[in-house]
Amino acid sequence: MDFFNYSGHQLHAENVSLTDIAAEHGTPTYVYSRATFERHYKAYADAFATHPTLICYAVKACSNIAILNVLARMGSGFDIVSIGELERVLRAGGDPSKVMFSGVAKQEHEMRRALEVGIHCFNVESEAELHRLNKVAGEMGLVAPVSLRINPDVDAKTHPYISTGLKDNKFGIDIKDAVRIYGVADSLENLNVMGVDCHIGSQLTELQPFLDTFDRLIGLIDQLAEQDITIKHLDLGGGLGVRYRDEVPPEPKDYADLLLERIKGRDLSLAFEPGRSIAANAGILLTKVEFLKCNPHKNFAIIDGAMNDLIRPSLYGAWMDIVQVNLEATSEGSRIYDLVGPICETSDFLGKDRELDLQAGSLLAVRSAGAYGFTMASNYNSRGRAAEIMVDGDKVHLIRERETIDHQLVGEQLLPA
């Protein structure tokens, strides 16, 4: 559930009309709802309240520091995959001792910074990375907390580009090699083995793949115990899906009920790295119709939002719900439109075959755009990235100004004359 609802004919973010936001801040603009972020985080925190559990919001989903700060204030930890994400968390007031560092190719300087600020755990993805981390920690006279990210070879039944737990994917350590590589980790003197980690994919709409993964990893934890390697936490990654169209994804509570039943009696804490299920429905992309172009065979609504603002439809063929901000009828009447942006690519569309009543100047909201929206935006065609707004009740906060050409050109220079 989110807090983007119609009041009268006008779509609102919490108590603020999106038409007013567009008038004041222009378009395209990402608009987030603070109450929705808080509600989604709380759904996880409440679901796992009876068991020691660290909820680490996956920063890559939506990384504006105002959002990280809202979550940090609620006690959230963070899953990061780069030093850039770590610096965002720190500047947002996040607690480094609740940070998990994931990613297949952490560089030495990134490891150093993470050790310096004292993160919770490194999710190590290969034997080579173990040796690198051991060396860096040794040079600093520190011991690095580690989990190994295990690839359990479970089919997440999601889009192939966002499936990560099959043996054909680049992620993690093959479960068949896990005991041996844990032995290596345990023998390295600057590492402290703490956990087992995995992340099998994103936008999962069933719980069974998570349960299969859990069972496999519990089996591994028991095997490790026989070798005197004690695992303190199990990190099951992110991946819970959201409703974009007609999916009925499970709620965190459904997930928790099944896992907590299975984990009973074990001295093992849990960790999760949810991104999409916290951020997606907490944001919309607000965009305006520039022109209608009605050809004999096809109607196009040319909008000011484009694939550089929101790449999910072009990259994954993702279907995003696109709704009118104002439901009042126009003189044009309803037609079936393709919603296309100004970029010079045929794949520059946000939606196809949508029945809408539009005229030039109409506002549209692309729903569920809070996750992997702004964070995947680019400057393609030298377009400045969109502004970001956070609505909190009846207050509107500009949390990232629209990028100007001066922002874009920082660091570029001409050759000498």
In this structure, which amino acid lies at residue 263?
Answer: I
Active site residue 56: no
Return the residue of 199, 233, 354, 385 that touches ligand LLP, per CB under 6 A: 199
Which tokens sit at 314? 């072009």
Q: DSSP 3-state assignment of 287?
A: strand
Across the beta sheet with 16-17, the strand order is 4-7, 10-13, 16-17
Is 149 annotated to bind a ligand? Reply is no
Binding status of residue 195 toward ligand LLP by CB under 6 A: no
Q: Which residues of 152-190 are buried (b: 16+ CB within 10 A; e: fewer)?
A: bbbebebeeebbbbbeeeebbbebeebeebbeebbebeb
Binding status of residue 166 toward ligand LLP by CB under 6 A: no
- If binding means CB under 6 A, how many residues of this protein chain bind ligand LLP? 20
How far apart are alpha carbons 363 and 288 in whole angstroms? 4
Binding status of residue 252 toward ligand LLP by CB under 6 A: no
Query: In the 3-class helix/strand/coil scheme, how is 317-380 assigned residue by residue?
Result: CCCCCEEECECCCCCCCEEEEEEECCCCCCCCEEEEEEEEECCCCCEEEECCCCCCCHHHCCCH
Return the residue of 237, 250, 283, 313 that touches ligand LLP, per CB under 6 A: 237
Q: How far is the CB of 200 from ligand LLP (least distance, A)?
A: 10
How far apart are alpha carbons 142 and 121 in whole angstroms? 13
Binding status of residue 250 toward ligand LLP by CB under 6 A: no
Which one of the spans 7-15, 207-215, 235-243, 343-351 is the region binding ligand LLP (CB under 6 A)?
Answer: 235-243
Q: How far is the CB of 299 from ligand LLP (least distance, A)?
A: 27
Binding status of residue 392 toward ligand LLP by CB under 6 A: no
Q: 389, 31 in Cβ contact below 8 A?
A: yes
Is 275 annotated to bind a ligand? Reply is yes
Return the residue of 79, 85, 125, 348 that touches ligand LLP, per CB under 6 A: 79
User: Which residues fall within 8 angstroms of residue 185, CB to CB, at 6 or more apart?
Assistant: 124, 130, 146, 148, 191, 193
Binding status of residue 304 toward ligand LLP by CB under 6 A: no
Return the residue of 28, 96, 145, 274 that touches ligand LLP, per CB under 6 A: 274
State the CB neighbour count (10 A cutoff) for residue 142. 15
Is 77 annotated to bind a ligand? Reply is no
Q: Which is nearer to ligand LLP, 315 or 399 (CB)?
A: 315
Binding status of residue 273 toward ligand LLP by CB under 6 A: yes
How far apart are alpha carbons 14 and 17 in whole angstroms? 8
Is 345 annotated to bind a ligand? Reply is yes
Catalytic entry in 121, 198, 294, 344: 344
Return the residue of 120, 276, 383, 385 that touches ligand LLP, per CB under 6 A: 276
Return the residue of 277, 281, 314, 368 that touches ligand LLP, per CB under 6 A: 277
The two beta strands, 395-400 and 387-392, are: antiparallel
Which one of the spans 136-144, 197-205, 215-223, 260-268 is the region binding ligand LLP (CB under 6 A)?
Answer: 197-205
User: Which residues fall within 8 angstroms of residue 356, CB to CB, at 6 or more apart?
Assistant: 301, 322, 324, 334, 335, 337, 364
Q: How far is the CB of 396 from ligand LLP (least distance, A)?
A: 26
Q: Which is nearer to ligand LLP, 21 or 59 (CB)?
A: 59
Q: Which residues of 205-237 are buried (b: 16+ CB within 10 A; e: fewer)?
A: bebebbebbbebbbebbeebeeeeeebbbbbbb
Return the residue of 31, 35, 43, 61 that touches ligand LLP, per CB under 6 A: 61
Alpha-carbon dihedral sign for residues 354, 360, 362, 366: positive
Is 354 annotated to bind a ligand? Reply is no
- Annotated binding-site positions for pyridoxal 5'-phosphate: 239, 273-276, 372
- Annotated binding-site positions for substrate: 276, 312, 316, 345, 372
Positions marked active-site = 344
Q: Which residues would be at the binding site for ligand LLP (CB under 6 A)?
A: 58, 61, 79, 102, 162, 199, 202-203, 237-239, 273-277, 312, 316, 371-372
